[in-house]
Amino acid sequence: MANSTFATGMDPSGKLRLALSMAFIGVSGGTIGFMFLESMDPLSALYMTIITLSTVGFGEIMPLHPAGRVFVIFLILFGVTTAGVIVTLVGEQLLEGHVKHLVTRRKMEAKLKKMSDHFIIAGFGRVGQQVARKFQIKGVQFVVIEKDEQLVNRVLDEGFVPVMGDATDDEVLLSAGIESANTLISTLPEEAQNVYLTLTARYMKPDLHIIARADFEDGEKKLLRAGANHVIIPHVLGGIRMAKAALQPNVVDFMQMTSMDEEDLLIEELVVPDGSPLTGKSLEESNLRREFSISIVGIKQTGKKMNINPGSSAVLNGQDILVVIGQAEDLERFSSHITR
């Protein structure tokens, strides 16, 4: 009963601290005991304590008095008990961690089989982790491909669905459900890997939306030729953001609020369905600003370029893509309205 309470009443770090404290008490108590009972010098007392607790059987460095022999009996029992506790704790933590990851991985594999129209993140480095956390906030289905076992365990710990393997391998992409996926985000550390992955993914699914990471401007051209729909160069975006922060700090604050979902202000992309109440109406006729407190900052019609900051006379059609800014609850109301 005591062992059960000990095992379940503490977190792993607390158990380990307790076990190490027991070992320290045993060594300290044994050294002091030999010094007091047998009048040993500190070094000899420490030596006797260590060989007694470790049960190596080297023998006594000097004959012991009866009191000293009784002390040795209790010291051996204490040492064996402490060693047993430490071994049990270490084994328990190793087993718990292994079983936990095994069970979690089985659950994630079952979840992966049910996915469709999902996102695939290739690589769980710094960029991939940010993408995954953003997807988690948005509540979208996604899977992470990663070949490093430590990073795969981290994916599991964060509650994401992992596929372990090389993202450029056809079988790994099939395991990630590329045939039913919506978008691939390639964040691999090497530009050549991203180019090869883009080529492979485009061949395996011609209509797949592909977003790839590049290190330099030349890499952007290669990735676009390989079939990427969008190419992101992180250090270029970072440099632009820093320059704007110096020259236009209020603009950057606004961008931060909308891109990081701060202050509940969001930028969303919505599609106008065929037969929507908005179809055939101009922005002025739809009264979106007054009714929903939102702003349409972009309209993309099929086969045309994005119309940035459209005028009030712009007419909405079915399958138009709207870029909308507003509060979360207002965007939710607007989304429900256009799909009625």
Q: Which residue has the tokens 């064996």?
A: 80
Q: For residue 256, is it within any domain?
A: no
Q: Give the pLDDT confidence score for residue 5 in this predicted structure.
A: 40
Percent over 90 (pLDDT), the chain: 25
> Are 286 and 292 a contacting pair, CB within 8 Å?
no
**Does residue 135 sit in the same domain as residue 193?**
yes
> Are 118 and 141 a contacting pair, CB within 8 Å?
yes
Q: Give the pLDDT confidence score for residue 99 in this predicted structure.
A: 58
The predicted-structure confidence for 189-202, as pLDDT tens digits, reads as follows 899 999 999 999 99
**Does residue 145 sit in the same domain as residue 211?**
yes
* Three-state secondary structure of the chain: CHHHHHHHCCCHHHHHHHHHHHHHHHHHHHHHHHHHHHCCCHHHHHHHHHHHHCCCCCCCCCCCCHHHHHHHHHHHHHHHHHHHHHHHHHHHHHHHHHHHHHHHHHHHHHHHHCCCCCEEEECCCHHHHHHHHHHHHHCCCEEEEECCHHHHHHHHHCCCEEEECCCCCHHHHHHCCHHHCCEEEECCCCHHHHHHHHHHHHHHCCCCEEEEECCCHHHHHHHHHHCCCEEECHHHHHHHHHHHHHHCHHHHHHHHHHHCCHHHEEEEEEECCCCCCCCCCEHHHHCHHHHHCCEEEEEECCCCCCEECCCCCCECCCCCEEEEEEEHHHHHHHHHHHCC
Q: For residue 214, is it within any domain?
A: yes
Asked if pLDDT for residue 175 goes beyond 50, the answer is yes
Q: Number of structural domains, the chain?
A: 3
What is the Cα–Cα distance from 26 to 82, expressed in whole angstroms? 9
Asked if pLDDT for residue 54 goes beyond 80, the answer is no
Q: Give the pLDDT confidence score for residue 264 in this predicted structure.
A: 63
Q: For residue 108, is it within any domain?
A: no
Query: Residue 208: which domain range?
Result: 116-238
Q: For residue 110, is it within any domain?
A: no
> Are 219 and 193 a contacting pair, CB within 8 Å?
no
**Does residue 90 sit in the same domain as residue 120?**
no
11 pLDDT tier (thresholds 50, 70, 90): low
> Strand 119-122 to strand 183-186: parallel, antiparallel, or no bridges (unpaired)?
parallel
Indicate the average pLDDT of the chain.
83
> Strand 209-213 to strand 183-186: parallel, antiparallel, or no bridges (unpaired)?
parallel
Higher pLDDT: 145 or 72? It is: 145
Lowest mean pLDDT among 4-13, 221-230, 318-327: 4-13
Q: For residue 64, is it within any domain?
A: yes
> Are 152 and 146 a contacting pair, CB within 8 Å?
yes
Contacts made by residues 168-171, CB under 8 angstroms, sequence distance 24+: 168/193, 168/196, 168/197, 168/200, 170/200, 170/204
The predicted-structure confidence for 25-41, as pLDDT tens digits, reads as follows 888 888 898 888 888 88
Q: For residue 252, is it within any domain?
A: no
Which residue type occupies 206? P
**Does residue 157 sit in the same domain as residue 204?**
yes
**Does residue 230 sit in the same domain as residue 154?**
yes
> Strand 321-327 to strand 295-300: parallel, antiparallel, or no bridges (unpaired)?
antiparallel
User: What are the CA-CA distances from residue 174 to residues 57, 72, 145, 281 (Å)?
Assistant: 60, 65, 11, 44
Q: For residue 249, is it within any domain?
A: no
**Does residue 120 sit in the same domain as residue 233?**
yes
Q: For residue 111, is it within any domain?
A: no
* Three-state secondary structure of 32-93: HHHHHHHCCCHHHHHHHHHHHHCCCCCCCCCCCCHHHHHHHHHHHHHHHHHHHHHHHHHHHH
**Does residue 27 sit in the same domain as residue 88?**
yes
The predicted-structure confidence for 225-268, as pLDDT tens digits, reads as follows 999 999 998 888 778 778 877 888 887 777 776 665 555 677 88
**Does residue 9 sit in the same domain as residue 66?**
yes
With a CB cutoff of 8 Å and minimum separation 6, the contacts of 87 are none
